[in-house]
């Protein structure tokens, strides 16, 4: 008799657990369905949603670059970037929009934007485009950009890989 009661209690508890789990899932599904990121699917759609221009004026500085990026984006692209995690936005867009930023705005040693980013403490174009992408993502989310923190993380990466950041900055500053 004790075994039967134990099994009944077990079954009742399992039923309650499953019921709660189903309610949590349906509540979660409702939250997901109403998120502003619903329908944002892939980097391929981002790239194909509008082609970036072959040539644009190079922004003068970091702040102007963020405004220029925003002007280049259509609503879908803006939402796509906003919905990305800031930790992965530069990796996700490195070979598409990140490349476009580097090719159009950063590889020219006379670029005022490039020189502004060097003065801020970055010497590698990949770090420069990553800073712009992450900062734009955070701006869209209404979050603090933490620019200094991003620059310090780039420095830590290079130092951990045997690159003296001060020397590297000195070399690119002389160009």
Is 10 in the same domain as 86? no
- Total number of domains in the chain: 2
Average pLDDT, the chain: 81
The mean pLDDT value for 79-106 works out to 92
Tell me: the pLDDT tens digits for 94-136? 888 999 999 999 999 999 999 999 999 999 999 999 999 999 9
Higher pLDDT, residue 60 or 174 = 60
Is 24 in the same domain as 50? no
Left (φ > 0), alpha (ψ -120 to 50) or beta: where does 121 sit?
A: left
Is 27 in the same domain as 79? no
> How many Å apart are CA 164 and CA 37, to the nearest integer?
41
Is 27 in the same domain as 53? no
Tell me which residue range forms the domain holding 146: 43-173
Is 4 in the same domain as 79? no
Is 116 in the same domain as 72? yes
Q: What per-residue confidence (pLDDT) applies to 17?
A: 37
Is 29 in the same domain as 59? no
Is 51 in the same domain as 23? no
Is 61 in the same domain as 4? no
pTM: 0.75
CB contact at 8 A, 105 and 58? yes
Residue 30 pLDDT grade (very low, low, confident, very high; cuts 50, 70, 90): very low
Is 4 in the same domain as 50? no
Is 106 in the same domain as 60? yes
Residue 45 pLDDT grade (very low, low, confident, very high; cuts 50, 70, 90): low
> How many Å apart are CA 97 and CA 160, to the nearest integer?
27
């Amino acid at each position: 008799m004790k075994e039967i009661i134990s099994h009944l209690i077990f079954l009742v508890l399992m039923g309650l657990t499953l019921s709660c789990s189903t309610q949590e899932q349906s509540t979660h599904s409702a939250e997901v369905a109403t998120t502003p990121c619903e329908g944002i699917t892939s980097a391929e759609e981002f790239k194909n949603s509008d082609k970036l221009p072959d040539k644009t004026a190079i922004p003068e500085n970091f702040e102007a670059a963020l405004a220029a990026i925003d002007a280049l984006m259509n609503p879908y692209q803006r939402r796509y970037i906003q919905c990305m995690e800031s930790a992965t936005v530069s990796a996700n867009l490195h070979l598409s929009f990140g490349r476009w930023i580097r090719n159009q705005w950063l590889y020219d040693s006379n670029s005022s934007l490039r020189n502004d980013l060097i003065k801020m403490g970055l010497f590698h174009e990949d770090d420069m485009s990553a800073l712009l992408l992450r900062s734009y993502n955070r701006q869209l989310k209404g979050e603090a950009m933490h620019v200094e923190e991003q620059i310090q993380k780039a420095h830590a990466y290079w130092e951990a890989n045997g690159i003296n950041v001060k020397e590297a900055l000195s070399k690119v500053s002389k160009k």
